[in-house]
Amino acid sequence: MAKRRVIQVGTGSRGVAYRDAVAFDFPDSVELVGLCDANPGRIALYQADLRARGLDIPGATPDQLETLIRRQRADLVIVTSMDSTHDEYVIRTLKAGCDVICEKPLTTTAEKLKAIRTAIQETGRSVRVTFNMRYSPVRMQVKRLLLEGIIGR
């Protein structure tokens, strides 16, 4: 299977786990090829961290997303931006010809969800929603303690 070329939209703290997984943990299947965020300072922090570990990844502002997708020949975009912006990036990415992985929640209103569904139907592309913290050991332990009544109801 060909390596997926990935752009990450959203360079805040929520996206670090995704960035590192794509950039370092799964080099046989994915390659980080771009970063996008409304805050150039956050992009610069991500880039500096990646450069310190041997990667030079281009960045772009939201108005340049489609250009970045084309220039980097991306086929997958991971959306880790603010929840209220997920729908915009998901729809634009689908229309630019890429599949999407989106951090939860997919969106924040029924109207935005309908627009995403329409974009999926029109483009034939796929969208996956992740729940990256649900199965971390600490959260699983808290769930077990709650279910067993050890720390309350």
Question: What would the pLDDT profile of 108-137 be if each residue is shown by its tens digit?
Answer: 999 999 999 999 999 999 999 987 666 667
Q: What is the pTM of this model?
A: 0.87
| DSSP letter assigned to residue 21 | I
